[in-house]
Chain A
Amino acid sequence: MRLICPLCGPRDRREFYYSGSEDYLNRPTPDAPAEAWDDMLHLRDNPAGVTRDLWYHETGCGSWLLVTRSTTTHEILATERVADRKGAGA
Protein backbone atom coordinates (compact mmCIF):
# COMPACT_ATOMS: atom_id res chain seq x y z
CA MET A 1 0.00 0.00 0.00
CA ARG A 2 1.26 3.44 -0.91
CA LEU A 3 -0.05 6.82 0.19
CA ILE A 4 0.57 9.94 -1.87
CA CYS A 5 1.94 12.66 0.36
CA PRO A 6 1.15 16.03 -1.24
CA LEU A 7 4.68 17.17 -0.39
CA CYS A 8 6.79 14.03 -0.72
CA GLY A 9 4.96 12.09 -3.45
CA PRO A 10 4.03 8.40 -3.37
CA ARG A 11 5.46 6.80 -0.25
CA ASP A 12 5.43 3.40 1.34
CA ARG A 13 2.84 2.68 4.00
CA ARG A 14 5.64 2.03 6.54
CA GLU A 15 6.40 5.74 6.59
CA PHE A 16 2.98 6.57 7.99
CA TYR A 17 1.30 6.30 11.36
CA TYR A 18 -2.43 5.64 11.32
CA SER A 19 -4.34 7.85 13.73
CA GLY A 20 -8.04 7.27 13.14
CA SER A 21 -11.22 8.64 11.69
CA GLU A 22 -11.49 12.16 10.27
CA ASP A 23 -14.08 12.70 13.02
CA TYR A 24 -11.19 13.82 15.22
CA LEU A 25 -10.95 16.98 13.09
CA ASN A 26 -14.52 17.97 13.84
CA ARG A 27 -14.50 18.92 17.48
CA PRO A 28 -17.76 20.10 19.02
CA THR A 29 -17.81 23.54 20.61
CA PRO A 30 -16.67 23.56 24.25
CA ASP A 31 -20.22 24.08 25.47
CA ALA A 32 -21.69 21.32 23.29
CA PRO A 33 -23.69 18.65 25.13
CA ALA A 34 -21.87 15.60 26.40
CA GLU A 35 -23.51 13.46 23.69
CA ALA A 36 -21.70 15.48 20.97
CA TRP A 37 -18.35 14.91 22.66
CA ASP A 38 -19.16 11.26 23.19
CA ASP A 39 -19.99 10.93 19.48
CA MET A 40 -16.76 12.62 18.42
CA LEU A 41 -14.63 10.43 20.65
CA HIS A 42 -16.36 7.08 20.36
CA LEU A 43 -19.05 6.81 17.70
CA ARG A 44 -17.64 5.44 14.45
CA ASP A 45 -18.98 4.14 11.19
CA ASN A 46 -17.45 0.98 9.85
CA PRO A 47 -18.10 1.33 6.13
CA ALA A 48 -17.47 -1.27 3.47
CA GLY A 49 -16.36 1.29 0.92
CA VAL A 50 -15.09 4.84 1.04
CA THR A 51 -13.70 6.04 4.34
CA ARG A 52 -11.70 9.11 5.38
CA ASP A 53 -9.06 8.96 8.03
CA LEU A 54 -6.00 10.69 9.44
CA TRP A 55 -2.46 9.55 8.83
CA TYR A 56 0.79 11.07 10.02
CA HIS A 57 3.81 11.10 7.70
CA GLU A 58 6.04 10.00 10.52
CA THR A 59 9.36 9.18 8.85
CA GLY A 60 8.79 11.73 6.09
CA CYS A 61 7.89 15.38 6.21
CA GLY A 62 5.82 15.23 9.41
CA SER A 63 2.54 16.32 7.84
CA TRP A 64 -0.87 15.18 9.00
CA LEU A 65 -2.83 13.85 6.04
CA LEU A 66 -6.51 13.34 5.41
CA VAL A 67 -6.76 10.22 3.29
CA THR A 68 -9.85 9.13 1.36
CA ARG A 69 -9.65 5.43 0.59
CA SER A 70 -11.79 2.43 -0.08
CA THR A 71 -11.81 -0.39 2.45
CA THR A 72 -13.06 -2.87 -0.16
CA THR A 73 -10.71 -2.17 -3.09
CA HIS A 74 -7.82 -0.66 -1.05
CA GLU A 75 -7.79 2.17 -3.55
CA ILE A 76 -6.43 5.51 -2.33
CA LEU A 77 -8.83 8.08 -3.76
CA ALA A 78 -7.38 11.33 -2.39
CA THR A 79 -4.85 12.67 0.07
CA GLU A 80 -4.60 16.21 1.36
CA ARG A 81 -2.63 17.92 4.07
CA VAL A 82 -4.73 18.84 7.09
CA ALA A 83 -2.77 22.11 7.33
CA ASP A 84 -3.80 23.03 3.77
CA ARG A 85 -7.53 22.71 4.41
CA LYS A 86 -9.63 25.83 4.41
CA GLY A 87 -9.90 27.28 7.87
CA ALA A 88 -6.87 25.43 9.22
CA GLY A 89 -4.71 27.51 11.54
CA ALA A 90 -1.75 29.26 9.87
Chain B
Amino acid sequence: MPELIAKTALSGQSTTHAGTTLAEVNLGQITSIACFPGQMAAVSAVLGPFPAPNTHADGLCWTGPDQAFLIGRAAPDLTGLAATTDQTGGWAALRLTGPLAVDVLARLVPLDLRHMTEGQAARAPLGHMQMVLMREADSFLILVFRSMARTAWHELEEAMQMLAARKAL
Protein backbone atom coordinates (compact mmCIF):
# COMPACT_ATOMS: atom_id res chain seq x y z
CA MET B 1 0.00 0.00 0.00
CA PRO B 2 1.61 3.28 -1.03
CA GLU B 3 1.91 5.95 1.60
CA LEU B 4 -0.51 8.74 0.71
CA ILE B 5 -0.20 12.26 2.02
CA ALA B 6 -3.46 13.85 3.16
CA LYS B 7 -3.79 17.39 1.86
CA THR B 8 -6.09 20.10 3.10
CA ALA B 9 -8.50 21.70 0.63
CA LEU B 10 -6.46 24.87 0.10
CA SER B 11 -2.91 23.66 0.81
CA GLY B 12 -2.69 25.90 3.86
CA GLN B 13 -2.69 29.15 1.87
CA SER B 14 -3.06 32.54 3.50
CA THR B 15 -3.62 36.13 2.41
CA THR B 16 -3.43 39.49 4.15
CA HIS B 17 -5.28 42.71 3.31
CA ALA B 18 -5.04 45.85 5.43
CA GLY B 19 -3.64 43.93 8.38
CA THR B 20 -6.40 41.33 8.31
CA THR B 21 -5.35 37.77 7.55
CA LEU B 22 -7.31 34.87 6.14
CA ALA B 23 -5.53 31.54 6.44
CA GLU B 24 -6.47 27.94 5.97
CA VAL B 25 -5.67 25.92 9.06
CA ASN B 26 -5.42 22.21 9.65
CA LEU B 27 -7.50 21.27 12.68
CA GLY B 28 -6.52 17.61 12.63
CA GLN B 29 -9.21 15.07 13.24
CA ILE B 30 -12.85 16.17 13.29
CA THR B 31 -15.56 13.80 14.55
CA SER B 32 -19.26 14.51 14.68
CA ILE B 33 -20.81 13.36 17.96
CA ALA B 34 -24.60 13.02 17.83
CA CYS B 35 -25.94 11.93 21.23
CA PHE B 36 -28.54 9.20 21.31
CA PRO B 37 -31.74 10.29 23.10
CA GLY B 38 -31.12 10.86 26.81
CA GLN B 39 -27.41 9.99 26.62
CA MET B 40 -25.87 13.45 26.76
CA ALA B 41 -24.81 13.14 30.40
CA ALA B 42 -23.16 9.81 29.70
CA VAL B 43 -21.36 11.28 26.67
CA SER B 44 -20.17 14.20 28.80
CA ALA B 45 -18.73 11.76 31.33
CA VAL B 46 -16.49 10.33 28.61
CA LEU B 47 -15.73 13.43 26.51
CA GLY B 48 -15.86 16.27 28.99
CA PRO B 49 -18.71 18.78 29.29
CA PHE B 50 -20.94 18.70 26.21
CA PRO B 51 -21.07 22.22 24.77
CA ALA B 52 -24.22 24.25 25.35
CA PRO B 53 -25.98 25.56 22.21
CA ASN B 54 -23.94 28.24 20.42
CA THR B 55 -20.73 27.63 22.37
CA HIS B 56 -17.40 25.87 21.92
CA ALA B 57 -14.67 24.94 24.39
CA ASP B 58 -11.81 22.47 24.75
CA GLY B 59 -12.04 21.16 21.20
CA LEU B 60 -15.79 20.58 21.35
CA CYS B 61 -18.07 22.77 19.27
CA TRP B 62 -21.86 22.71 19.31
CA THR B 63 -23.19 22.02 15.81
CA GLY B 64 -26.88 21.34 16.40
CA PRO B 65 -29.39 19.86 18.83
CA ASP B 66 -27.58 17.24 20.95
CA GLN B 67 -24.75 17.34 18.45
CA ALA B 68 -21.16 18.58 18.50
CA PHE B 69 -17.84 18.37 16.66
CA LEU B 70 -14.88 16.90 18.47
CA ILE B 71 -11.87 18.69 17.01
CA GLY B 72 -8.18 17.88 17.22
CA ARG B 73 -8.24 14.55 19.01
CA ALA B 74 -9.35 11.01 18.36
CA ALA B 75 -12.88 10.11 19.38
CA PRO B 76 -13.24 7.72 22.30
CA ASP B 77 -15.49 4.71 22.08
CA LEU B 78 -19.06 5.98 22.47
CA THR B 79 -20.86 2.82 21.45
CA GLY B 80 -24.46 2.96 22.62
CA LEU B 81 -24.14 6.61 23.68
CA ALA B 82 -23.75 8.57 20.47
CA ALA B 83 -23.44 8.27 16.73
CA THR B 84 -19.90 9.21 15.77
CA THR B 85 -18.83 9.95 12.22
CA ASP B 86 -15.39 10.94 10.99
CA GLN B 87 -15.64 14.35 9.32
CA THR B 88 -11.92 15.04 9.01
CA GLY B 89 -11.78 15.25 5.23
CA GLY B 90 -15.19 16.85 4.92
CA TRP B 91 -14.49 20.37 6.12
CA ALA B 92 -12.19 23.24 5.31
CA ALA B 93 -11.16 25.47 8.21
CA LEU B 94 -10.33 29.15 7.70
CA ARG B 95 -9.10 31.52 10.36
CA LEU B 96 -9.85 35.22 9.97
CA THR B 97 -7.79 37.54 12.15
CA GLY B 98 -7.42 41.29 12.26
CA PRO B 99 -9.19 44.64 12.49
CA LEU B 100 -11.45 44.05 9.46
CA ALA B 101 -12.59 40.56 10.49
CA VAL B 102 -15.99 41.58 11.82
CA ASP B 103 -16.70 43.87 8.85
CA VAL B 104 -15.68 41.17 6.36
CA LEU B 105 -18.04 38.66 7.92
CA ALA B 106 -20.79 41.27 8.19
CA ARG B 107 -20.93 41.25 4.39
CA LEU B 108 -21.58 37.52 4.24
CA VAL B 109 -23.19 36.41 7.50
CA PRO B 110 -26.64 37.70 8.58
CA LEU B 111 -25.66 37.90 12.25
CA ASP B 112 -24.41 40.76 14.40
CA LEU B 113 -20.92 39.49 15.15
CA ARG B 114 -19.68 42.66 16.86
CA HIS B 115 -20.76 41.34 20.23
CA MET B 116 -19.76 37.73 19.71
CA THR B 117 -17.31 36.81 22.46
CA GLU B 118 -14.65 34.16 22.83
CA GLY B 119 -16.19 30.75 23.31
CA GLN B 120 -19.35 31.51 21.36
CA ALA B 121 -20.21 29.56 18.24
CA ALA B 122 -22.96 29.62 15.64
CA ARG B 123 -24.46 27.64 12.83
CA ALA B 124 -25.15 30.25 10.20
CA PRO B 125 -24.89 30.79 6.47
CA LEU B 126 -21.76 32.24 4.83
CA GLY B 127 -23.33 33.57 1.66
CA HIS B 128 -25.36 30.52 0.70
CA MET B 129 -22.99 28.04 2.32
CA GLN B 130 -23.50 26.09 5.51
CA MET B 131 -20.99 27.20 8.12
CA VAL B 132 -19.83 26.44 11.63
CA LEU B 133 -18.49 29.67 13.10
CA MET B 134 -16.36 29.84 16.25
CA ARG B 135 -15.22 33.01 18.01
CA GLU B 136 -11.71 32.69 19.39
CA ALA B 137 -9.75 35.18 21.47
CA ASP B 138 -8.48 37.28 18.53
CA SER B 139 -10.04 35.60 15.53
CA PHE B 140 -12.94 33.82 13.91
CA LEU B 141 -12.65 30.18 12.93
CA ILE B 142 -14.82 29.34 9.94
CA LEU B 143 -15.69 25.78 8.94
CA VAL B 144 -17.30 25.15 5.55
CA PHE B 145 -17.84 22.00 3.53
CA ARG B 146 -14.59 21.03 1.83
CA SER B 147 -16.34 21.12 -1.55
CA MET B 148 -17.10 24.81 -0.88
CA ALA B 149 -13.57 25.74 0.23
CA ARG B 150 -12.58 27.73 -2.87
CA THR B 151 -15.94 29.49 -3.05
CA ALA B 152 -15.71 30.48 0.61
CA TRP B 153 -12.15 31.67 0.09
CA HIS B 154 -13.18 33.73 -2.95
CA GLU B 155 -16.12 35.34 -1.17
CA LEU B 156 -14.07 36.18 1.91
CA GLU B 157 -11.07 37.49 0.02
CA GLU B 158 -13.29 39.63 -2.20
CA ALA B 159 -14.88 41.20 0.88
CA MET B 160 -11.43 41.74 2.38
CA GLN B 161 -10.15 43.42 -0.80
CA MET B 162 -13.17 45.67 -1.00
CA LEU B 163 -12.92 46.80 2.60
CA ALA B 164 -9.15 47.24 2.38
CA ALA B 165 -9.60 49.40 -0.75
CA ARG B 166 -12.21 51.52 0.98
CA LYS B 167 -9.92 51.94 3.97
CA ALA B 168 -7.08 53.08 1.70
CA LEU B 169 -9.11 55.95 0.21
Residues in A lying within 8 Å of B, measured CB to CB: 7-9, 11-12, 14-15, 59-63, 81, 83, 90
Contacts and interface: CB of A to CB of B under 8 A. Distances in A.
Contacts of A63: 64-65
Interface of B: 37-38, 53-54, 63-65, 110-111, 122-125, 128-131
B5 to A, nearest CB: 33
A81 B53 CA distance: 14
B110 A15 contact: yes
Contact of B123 (A12, A59, A81, A90): A59
B125 A90 contact: no
Given A60-B124, A62-B65, A63-B65, A11 B53 contact: no
B122 A8 contact: yes
A64 B169 CA distance: 46
A41 B60 CA distance: 42
